[in-house]
Amino acid sequence: MQKEKIFDQVTQFAIPGLTVAATVVIAMKMPQWGLFLNLASQPFWLYSSWKAYKKAGQIGILITTVIMIIVISFGLVNYWIIK
């Protein structure tokens, strides 16, 4: 139970920290690094949206998170693999 509470607290800092950092890096014209940071935030988004779905039935957040993971992954492939 204690580990879940700690992870919940980490998640509450990781979501805005990584997401805002990704947006700032993209605004600084480094989209490949912004996508990397944004993908790093997605496990926290997925965890949080899953909990929101289980507790309050908010499926829209979960669907949006899954779609974002797919889109960001395509962007990473575009910038890092295909070039």
Question: For the CA atoms of the chain, what is the radius of gyration?
Answer: 14
Backbone angles phi, psi at 5, to 5 degrees: -65, -40
What's the predicted TM-score (pTM) here? 0.89
25: which residues sit within 8 A by CB, 6+ positions away? 31, 33, 34, 37
pLDDT in tens, the chain (83 residues): 687 789 899 999 999 999 999 999 999 999 999 999 999 999 999 999 999 999 999 999 999 999 999 999 999 999 888 86
pLDDT of residue 2: 80
**Domains in the chain, number:** 1
Structural domain range at position 58: 2-82
Tokens standing for residue 6 = 């700690």
Report pLDDT for 1: 66
Q: What distances in angstroms separate CA 39 from CA 1, 5, 12, 21, 69, one per listed residue?
A: 27, 23, 16, 12, 7
